[in-house]
Every structure is written in C-alpha cells, then in structure tokens.
Amino acid sequence: MSRRKLIAANWKMNKTVAEATAFVPALRAAVARLAGIDLAIFPSFFCVRALADALAGTSVAVGAQDLHWEPNGAFTGEVSGAMLTDAGATMVIVGHSERRHVMGESDEIVARKLAAALRARLAPILCVGELLSERDAGNEKAVVERQLASAFQGVAEEMAARVVVAYEPVWAIGTGRTAQPDDAEAMHGAVRSWLSAHVGAEAVSMRILYGGSVNAGNAAGLIARENVDGFLVGGASLDPASFVAIAEAASG
Ligand code: PEP
C-alpha cells in the first residue's frame, strides 16, 4: 500500500506573522518541485490566517497546534475547532507531548480534543509516545497502545481514518537524540497493527509520522522504513532550507 508522505512543521511558540509569511516563497518552490508529497505547517494560532492566505492555491496545508474540546463558551484563552476552520486551518495537532507533559493534558482530555477536531472537520495529527523512563522499563508499546485506545474510543471507523498518528518518543523531542530507524519501524508497525485491530480496514491507508529530532541527515534512513509515512518536525522546521531538505529526503 503506498501512502503519500506527509512532512509537517510544528513551529511551537515561534515566529511572528512577518516571520511566518517569509517562509512562503520557499514552500511554494518546494511544492512545485516535489511531487507526490504533502506538506503542512502548524504555526501559532496567531499566524494561521496569514499563512493560509499566503499559501492559498498551493497544496500546503495549514493547521493549528491545539484546540479546545468545546465549540464555544467560558474558556478564557482557548480556541475552538470552528475558530480554526474559520481562520483557514484544515488540520490540527492533538496531544503533543508538550501539551501532555508540560501543560498536564490527560489521555481523557486528548480524547475529547480528538473528537472535537473531527467534529469540526479538521484533519487531526494525534501525537503518541513514551517517556524515557517508560522505554527503559520496557513499557513503550503498552504506553502508546494505552494512548491510542483512549484517543480512539468512540470514534467511528470512517472518522478515524481521517486521523494521522505521529509517534513521537518524548525522549527524542528537541533533544537531538533520534530513534533508530529499526526502533521507529518497530513502533510504527505496532501502531499499524493496533489500528488494524481497533479501527479496521482503513488502517492500511492511515499515515503514521515519526517525530523527534528529525533533520536532513537522519530523514532518509527513517523514511525508508515501511511504516514511516512522514515526519512531524519541530526545531529543524524553523529554517526553510532545513525543512525543505527534509522534504526532499522524504520524497526520495
Ligand atoms: C515536535 O515538537 O513535534 C518535535 C518532533 O520536535 P523536534 O523535531 O524539535 O524534536
């Protein structure tokens, strides 16, 4: 089964509107050159509208890094799925490890956010991944399967198929320490098996991204593995040349 590769940039709390839109010429040139690959940018909420406008007419998707699970209401500082689609977003990241481990989001909150993203017709990237202590204890697969089970509970198969899963071992995020291709493939294969068993036949076409200190040097080795369908890139996505170099490595 050939799945289109997706290379996604998580800009976290970086870039003003001017800095974000300065990225656009490089992205336009990259998509014109790199056939058969999808690109997506996840800027801060504040840059979604400007970036969506600047990338209109290209195949580059723009998404947000988070959303609230309610459609509206007294939730000071929060942003709903409808607000994101209104601003031009078509995708959203849910359950990033910084949301889980820095902001304290539980599996239950992540599940509510995934459901809200699907209700708002956004394509979610659901992040899962274990802590170093959990890997050292040999529990990485159990942790990831628990996160998947919680997030997909009650999600219908046709909706679930719209989800992109990103395996991001927490010990590899922003640390310069990347999972070896064999370790990444082992987990991606386990995620695919879990999806086949619990989501259904659509699992074969669902994309599973790897994230954790991906750069232009390690991308080719990772993307060569059967179940690695792209990347969620943090630090190395902040510079146009390095993000485009990763996309080039992924497009083979
Ligand atoms: C991320 O934040 O999703 C990420 C993978 O970051 P980095 O590439 O910097 O490790």
47-106 per-position pLDDT tens digit:
999 999 999 999 999 999 999 999 999 999 999 999 999 999 999 999 999 999 999 999
Q: 78 is written with which tokens?
A: 């929060």
173 CA: nearest ligand 1 atom:
10
Q: How far apart are CA 82 and CA 61, in angstroms?
A: 17
- Closest to 38 (Cα-Cα) out of 125, 156, 157: 125
Tell whether the torsion through CA atoms of 88, 94, 98 and 103 is positive or negative.
positive
The per-residue pLDDT for 1 is 65
The per-residue pLDDT for 157 is 86
Question: What domains lie within the chain, and their CATH numbers?
Answer: 5-251 (3.20.20.70)
The per-residue pLDDT for 35 is 82
- 70 as an active site residue: the answer is no
CA of 18 to the centre of ligand 1 (A): 22
If you take atom 4 of ligand 1, which residue's CA is the nearest one?
A: 234
pLDDT tens column, 130-171:
999 999 999 999 999 999 999 999 898 889 999 999 999 999
- 96 as an active site residue: the answer is yes
pLDDT tens column, 188-243:
999 999 999 999 999 999 999 999 999 999 999 999 999 999 999 999 999 999 99
What predicted TM-score, i.e. pTM, was given to this entire model? 0.97
